[in-house]
Structure 1
């Protein structure tokens, strides 16, 4: 145990020296450790109770649970997690709704690419990409009804929006070889949404049709229009969550400028209580210290708002001996917590590091 503690102090010292601590950070602010997890219907209550107790004992504070927007399943798991001392957040797929049985009855709800293909039957990149249009009233109303269903569940702290964006215009550079792609420009098959409703609403405002432009992907007003459509969904979800005494949280791309360029997601403009940017350094072929850079960028962009930033970390790319350094990079640059993807990737060694970290800051 003595050697373990000495190793922990040594690594903490290294991590602290390698990052620059902003003067405005308050050492007494609570620092939250979250983890994402997907519900399994074949997993009994007793197994969940054991897992939740293990997470809480190791320093995890909050669980983001994906139940496929099933309020009854969420209520069951929320009670078990709360009993174990964990805060519960209702994690939902928002504009990407793979296998949504209600939406699949309405092909017109789905986003359409610049080459005229709908996500209803032509999915970009992977089969589970079934993106819905954020502009069309019926698809928006459906998504917001799911938000409300989760917001009504007792024992839940927030509704957590994931995939609250368009499909990726650009993939993270580290993922391109997996799909044998080169993306040096906005390719038409990955540029959304060009459905009749989006085109019509844009034309009402700006008196031009993107499809009549030689390069619609370069038109600033057309880009802003789509940023605004995502923001409108978020802002409506914020009102719904708060009406049920919940807060709104969201998983987002690393920092606002990058997110706007890659997925039409300008999250520093949203009405949202907490953002969990997925600062997955290996997706971008970056080194571990990129966590510090991207965290600081997001914190700076949120400086005029009360929105909290909690850095998302991708555990498969972070060995247990690197986890403390990654957390320290985030904390020293102003993050109010870290969110770990995902609970299944949390090894016993990761949990030991978490426990030591939480003990050190108490």
Structure 2
């Protein structure tokens, strides 16, 4: 009888270890802390850990003190903490000189005439002052011992073409690149491109047909990212980024992200299939593309957009309230991982229903 109980304990412990070993890595985008107390935050973080989340891309603003507070609590709950801070979108008045903002093909500043929505105030990535600002911002956060890494977002140009699922919301048909959504045509970008290529882009009838102009802007983003990566790595911290799917099928075409050339520790492509009027199979396709583009050398975590109210999805007019319903979550995870993704990242845990969590848990322990 004694031997039976010993064997039962061994088998139980083995099954626990096997479950842990086979678990898919899962991260999540989340924001706060708002007015939540330490007790409330710690309780939430512990619950996320129990549900299978391994780390947070947490948006707590620019404050080192706030990031340190939240990071300590995340660590206590057993979660990684990556400070999720927008890069080229900075809309606080007085934070930076307005001359540093990107300019569209009509000569309009993103500060005074942002595309699509009011917060789309994008900085020009071709300005030394912008790099200095970002280096200082991210450097202070990276110096916090409890912070595991920096997570870049909006590290791109504005969408020169919106994902098709958003066209109706904004009353647009984006069958080509239009100048009011095409950036950056500031004096420095125009002059630097002319010096490099001999082409005055302001004299070109259709700039969208000039491949050198596209590559010039891919390189502006790549150079900025790699400068920041060198700085953060010098502090022995990770640096990652939320990116558009692809890179070739989507990211390069609509936001000028050639992210397979970025020297980062992991990529988090936002594989939000509903935005592209696609199903979960498409998530597998772009996950495969990401894996092959990075040659499997850098982890890619497939970003999954969760529907907050599945029962109302078909009647919901705003596509940004669409997303994966519970019956799609397991397939989205399987499509991602079977096609090369190292794991997944949820946007966001707060949008998950109880049914969604149940389907999620089945999938991550397969």
| TM-score over 0.5 (shorter chain) | yes
Comparing 315-324 and 330-339, the one that deviates more: 315-324
Name the structure 2 match of 1:195: 186
Name the structure 2 match of 1:166: 157
Aligned with residue 122 of structure 2, among 113, 121, 131: 131
**Distance in structure 2 (CA, Å) of the matches to 1:355 and 1:288:** 18
Aligned length: 331
Contact 2:27/2:56, CA 8 A, preserved across alignment: yes
Contact 1:133/1:140, CA 8 A, preserved across alignment: no
Matched, 1:46 2:39: yes
Helix, strand or coil at the partner of 2:83:
strand
Q: Which has the higher contact order (CA 8 A, sep 6+)?
A: 1
Report the CA distance between 1:216 and its aligned residue: 1.6
What pairs up with 1:1-362 in 2 under 5 angstroms? Answer: 31-99=24-92, 101-103=94-96, 106-257=97-248, 258-303=250-295, 306-316=297-307, 317-358=323-364, 360-361=365-366
Report the CA distance between 1:248 and its aligned residue: 1.1
Contact 1:35/1:339, CA 8 A, preserved across alignment: yes
Report the CA distance between 1:41 and its aligned residue: 2.6
- Classify 1:30/1:234 alpha carbon distance in 2 versus 1 (closer, same or farther; 3 Å): farther
Q: Deviations over 1:135-161 (max 9, x none)?
A: 011122212221212211211221100
TM-score (norm 2): 0.87
Provide the aligned C-alpha RMSD in A: 1.6
Contact 1:36/1:342, CA 8 A, preserved across alignment: yes
**Distance in structure 2 (CA, Å) of the matches to 1:256 and 1:209:** 28
TM-score (norm 1): 0.88
Gaps of 5+ in 2: 1-20, 308-322
Q: Deviations over 1:233-265 (max 9, x none)?
A: 110111111111111110000101120110000
Gaps of 5+ in 1: 1-27
**Distance in structure 1 (CA, Å) of the matches to 2:23 and 2:342:** 7
Contact 2:33/2:70, CA 8 A, preserved across alignment: no
